Each structure stands twice: as C-alpha cells, then as structure tokens.
Structure 1
Amino acid sequence: MTTPGERRRQAVALAYQENDRAPRVVAKGYGDLAERIMAEAHRQGIYVHDAPELVALLMQLDLDAEIPPGLYQIVAELLVWVFELSEEGLSHREMPE
C-alpha cells in the first residue's frame, strides 16, 4: 500500500535483438511485479538504471512494442552507460590480483 504522495514502484524491461529496428518493451509492471522485474534483472547480471521520467513514458507502451523514435537518443545513452559498466566490470575481473 502506498501513502499519499508516495509513488508505486515501476519497472520496464527492454530487449534488443539484432534484427529489431529498436529496443522492445518485454516486461513492465508496478509494485510487487516491478520488484520482481528488477530482482530478475539483478539475478541475470543486467544493470538497472533508475530514470523515473523515462520509465513513466515507457510504461505507456504495450508489451512487445518498439520504443518510439523520440526515445531513441535517451535509450541509446542508457545502452552506452550499460556497455561502459559491463566493460569496466570485465576489465576489473580480468585484472590479476
């Protein structure tokens, strides 16, 4: 239950396949479902970014819908951020101790 002024947690999962024109919404939800989406992302080693304004826009899309062209730039920036994090993680794992 949320209190007045408290927003329910939201989560949207995007996926991109080589033949797709744009990333697609593959999961979305509020509250407990949002928590499960984020927990699964963490379990799978997928980085989670907290961007409430972007999530609110993505929540309006249907499941399996491609993101609209107006969101390409911000999603591309997030994908670069994820790539850089994963590259940084790989380089730290490969460094001898």
Structure 2
Amino acid sequence: MKEKAVALTYDKEKNRAPVISAKGKGTTAQKIIKIAKEHGVPIKKDEDLIELLSKVELNKEVPPQMYKAIAEVFSFIYSITREKQ
C-alpha cells in the first residue's frame, strides 16, 4: 500500500473548522511529510483518519461529522507542544 498523507490548516479568523490544505499518496505524501518535518509541524500517523480526510476536497473545511476525530488530532498536537515546553 502506498504511503498517504493529509495536511490540515486552521485559521480561526477565516474558518469554522480545519481545512484540507494538502493531500496525496506515494511521492506526494512523502513531500507533504518532508515539508511538515522541515517546518516542525507535528505528524500523527493514523491510517483510518487519513482515509476519511482524503475523501474531503482540497481547500474545503472538514465536515462536522469528522469533528471528533479532528479534536483527537488537536489534543495530540497540544500534548506534543506541551512536552516541548
């Protein structure tokens, strides 16, 4: 199975929910992951979540039925960020 990646961005001033800012598989997924690492963006590996998020169109907000899963991602990011402080 090819590696897959989905990137989220969230601007609380512009959006009600996170937006799919990049997604892809294979070489594209590797580039997304590389760029995230270069910029210190936390990475959460969750194949089921990637499958769900990859169905959302690029530059579209995550739909409400996925909020619980996204909340888990934000909780993960928060815990990682706290550990680094």
Pairing of 1:13-92 with structure 2 (within 5 A): 13-19=7-13, 20-90=15-85
For 1:27 and 1:47, how far apart are their aligned partners in 2?
Answer: 15
Post-superposition CA distance 1:32-81 (Å, at most 9, x none): 01000001101100111111011011111111111011110111111011
When normalised by structure 1's length, the TM-score is: 0.83
RCO higher in structure (CA 8 A, sep ≥6): 2
Count of residues paired in the alignment:
84
SS of the aligned residue for 2:80 comes to helix
Structure 2 segments unaligned to the other structure (5+ residues): none
Structure 2 counterpart of 1:13, which letter? Answer: A
Q: CA RMSD in A?
A: 0.8
Larger CA Rg, structure 1 vs 2: 1
Percent of aligned pairs with the same amino acid: 32
When normalised by structure 2's length, the TM-score is: 0.94
